[in-house]
Amino acid sequence: MVIDTHTHINDPVLFKDADSIISSLHEDNISRIVVVGYDRLSSERAVLLAEKHPTVFAAVGIHPHSASVFCEADYVYFSNIAMSLDVIAIGEIGLDYFHNLSPKDIQKRVFVEQLILADTLKLPIIIHSRDADYDMLSLLKDNRHYLNQGFVLHCFSQTLEYANKIISAFDSVYFSFGGLITFKNACKEEIIRGLPLDRLLVETDCPYMTPVPHRGKTNYPKFISLVVEKIKKILPDADIAELTTQNAKTLFKKLV
């Protein structure tokens, strides 16, 4: 059994079928999934699903795309709902300079504000970082005192050199890999081989980033098996499902 640490079955593409998807998790060899919020509505949906299903856990937060519409009421909601055992992290939060849907200065401010919130709530953090490597590392270092519960760089796509810089600076950073590693030109073997085994997580990021051979179609949690199989080929001596399950439980302490 494996844990899918990053799903978006709260996304409109999958939300209408969420109950059916969740009901088949066991037969898909998935013990638990984390449904990750990216704005207020998706966070509310993540919590709703987690409260309804014992195999589902929620993360709540504001994605950098929505940073410019983040408001004080969202902080209050996240603070109150995080008291629930079903909410195990703040995320996904971070920086996205590729799409740049919110101004960079606002992205950075809202990211740091949510780091502070996570520390106050004693919750780990799920980080989205795209085309923002320098600013991300700088902000993490400048705000290291808010990272006491650990964090994961989800859908990690940077270099091994960059990963090692973060590992050298932080004791409790994790790196999550999804369908991207199955793409023909992804070339992630060196990174996965070079990372400490106790820092590795798996995800689907469904309905996005669908792994080969389903690339171009809607992604589902069941395709986590393709991610695990790819990593097994890179690390043949490791029990990837067991390893990543234990790592997920170490980071997400409320993931029972």
The predicted-structure confidence for 158-185, as pLDDT tens digits, reads as follows 999 999 999 999 999 999 999 999 999 8
pLDDT value for 256: 77
> Could you tell me if 10 and 18 are in contact, meaning their C-beta atoms sit under 8 angstroms apart?
yes
The predicted-structure confidence for 83-96, as pLDDT tens digits, reads as follows 888 999 999 999 99
Domains of the chain: 2-251 (3.20.20.140)
Average pLDDT value for residue range 22-39: 98
Alpha-helical regions (H) of the chain: 12-15, 18-23, 40-52, 72-81, 104-121, 133-142, 160-169, 189-194, 224-234, 240-251
Average pLDDT value for residue range 4-14: 98
Tokens 């983040």, located at residue:
70
